[in-house]
Structure 1
């Protein structure tokens, strides 16, 4: 049986989800069934849609009806997440933002930001072409700067320097903004699979492998802190707090409702195409639709 090709994200936040894939003795066993490759969030989705990957940790903006969400795991937040930031230049308010500089942000980050302006604030600023994730340079050409992932965490560590150079900026945590305005979690990414790609691999074992890896990662967060401290220029305590308190890793019913609301809002404002339904991989019954959670024939 051919190995399932995994497209994953090489950021700090998915580290607990990938624990078994990166640590002995489980990594050797899983390597017999999975071929794991690391890339950017947007490219995870591109690989999955193009058939270059069978399973991907993809932004929720990239979900389509052809993919099935693997239950159990997510990258989400129940409040402040720290790794998706909108910085406003001094003197600029959300209502007066006219231009937004973006880094190589995922489609989800862009869509969440567009929802903030178009749906919640009632404005429609211009989003500039992606630029390197340098907040000083970004705010030199735009009213606001969008940073995600590790660059956002690094920017927070440089807050005094950035504010000292530009004046007191406004720092907005977009996850906290979404949770405050909707009462639902902010959800960034989920595991998704192409139905035809299972190729003999059982749904139950796939769900079990990913869930067990997540659980092990959550149980070994201190070890992950030690591993990641040399890899990212932030203090160990920042990494510890991020993994323990900022990121939520369990795909709850509230997270599913948040994804559905996010996709509905994004379609309403024209940021993303409509998604009529979300399909879910079920360990016992194949694929489930989001509306009734009843099994779906794999041929449909």
Structure 2
């Protein structure tokens, strides 16, 4: 079997996947690229074996997955690519409508938590592409955008109020926020443990390569973005690729908040790949 590997189609995972996709680290996987929401769907449907996925996807279906240890995507403050762009101060958004990217599950859930616990407001969500909507000339009161779209729209002149959800989470809790994790289908693990374990180890090797070559990655990423080299390095400097004790505390705090706000029913246990 060739392992079916999911890849988030954003620049923030370039440090991990570049060495895999260019042959720097030999890979025997079938790669599917897409936004987090699509990878969540594919994992839930059993159409991928190993994938990056939203931390909310793990929370909702923890019994179907194992977490790959010590690899994640998050921040210890500003993340720069998960932004609430607003035409008015956030406190004035009460009872108004926010356009939310259809590509995200975790960021939308985090926004719900921040509204309830930090800003004490309620809003209505509608889903869609911010880039497409803005292209029509329409100007929603507020937009939640993620990934490369957030990097491209963060200085939009019609949206003077910019709230970085990673920074808002730190303001609320003092903890890192983990937007995405790498998960393994338990069914795939039971079917072909050796190959799935090789794929998991390959992702960890890719992470280590990316950390050691991050300056080169910044230059490569800037070539595909509206950000210059300095801005791209600032972006990558703010990202967390670890899933250590502090990041796990942040995940558990998020899951507890999701229970409090009625988004999930219970806090899942963090279950990692079985050791050999």
Give the TM-score normalised by the residue count of structure 1: 0.83
SS in 2 for 1:30: coil
Structural mapping, 1:119-268, within 5 Å: 119-133=117-131, 136=134, 140-156=138-154, 159=155, 162-163=156-157, 166=158, 169-198=160-189, 199-201=192-194, 205-243=198-236, 245-268=237-260
> Aligned-pair distance for 1:109?
0.6
Higher Cα radius of gyration: 1
CA distance in 2, matches of 1:149, 1:211: 22
Contact 1:89 1:139 in 2 (8 A): no
> Aligned-pair distance for 1:77?
0.4
SS in 2 for 1:209: helix
Structure whose residues are more often helix by fraction: 2
CA distance in 2, matches of 1:176, 1:128: 23
Is residue 86 of structure 2 the alignment partner of residue 93 of structure 1?
no
Distance 1:259 1:182, change over 3 A: same
Which runs of no fewer than 5 residues in structure 2 stay unpaired? Answer: none
CA distance in 1, matches of 2:77, 2:70: 20
The runs of at least 4 aligned residues of structure 1 exceeding 6 Å deviation read none
- Report which stretch shifted further, 268-277 or 147-156: 268-277
SS in 2 for 1:201: helix
> Aligned-pair distance for 1:54?
0.5
Structural mapping, 1:22-101, within 5 Å: 22-26=21-25, 29-31=26-28, 34-63=29-58, 64-65=61-62, 66-90=64-88, 92-97=89-94, 98-101=96-99
Distance 1:216 1:223, change over 3 A: same
RMSD: 2.2
Give the TM-score normalised by the residue count of structure 2: 0.89
Is residue 15 of structure 2 the alignment partner of residue 16 of structure 1?
yes
> Aligned-pair distance for 1:142?
3.3
Contact 1:80 1:175 in 2 (8 A): yes
Count of residues in correspondence between the two structures? 270
Distance 1:13 1:96, change over 3 A: same
